[in-house]
Amino acid sequence: MTAAETALLRGGPRYGEGRAALLAAAVRVGATRGLRHLTYRSVAAEAGVAHGLVAHHFGSRDALIEEALQFSLDHGVASLSSAPGSGDVSALFVGVTSWFEQDADDAVFQYELILESRRRPELRPHVERLYEAYREALRVEMKACGLPDDLNLVHLVFAALDGLVFQQVCLGQTGATEAALDQLRGLLSRLR
């Protein structure tokens, strides 16, 4: 159970948990209802607090979206390796399916933001930052594994990973995702 879910059961977040609970609620609202429904009121209702608290913490809807993206991104980037910096190719992508199973809203929120940026160009810098953060974290992990420090290779591997996560979001075929990730790790091992 997440901090925000626990807060809802208690009637709202405890002191010091408010910001994280609001960010988790924003991610859930964005994932389940889309970014167009991400408002102070919808986030407050999801978190079990007054909507003024959301405005107090974030000041603008854009700031709320930006911080919710960073909140979800932190979880996603952490799933790239089960042993960050270790150089162990077999640790790459091990946490991807478990991240999705535990925090599916993070991935769905990110895809909602990506798709909404086609309709709202002002969101594009957020999407660029999202992709850049994933590619840079992946580049660091691949370099630690002794793989070539090649931005085109990083882009290719991330595109494969991104596509697999998107299919997991849409189809929920964990077994197929795991098998494909095993194949991807095998290909990367042979490149070393």
Give the pLDDT confidence of 152-174 residue by residue, as tens digits: 999 999 999 999 999 998 998 89
- CATH number belonging to the domain at 1-59, selected among 2.60.40, 1.10.3470, 1.10.10, 3.30.420: 1.10.10
- Determine the average pLDDT of the residues in 4-22: 59
60-192 CATH fold: Tetracycline Repressor; domain 2 (1.10.357)
- Determine the average pLDDT of the residues in 25-31: 97
CB 41 within 8 A of CB 20: no
DSSP 62-94: HHHHHHHHHHHHHHHHHTTBSSTTS--GGGBTT
Domain positions in the chain are: 1-59, 60-192
Mean pLDDT, the chain, rounded, equals 89
- Determine the average pLDDT of the residues in 31-44: 95
What confidence category does residue 8 fall into, taking pLDDT thresholds of 50, 70 and 90? very low
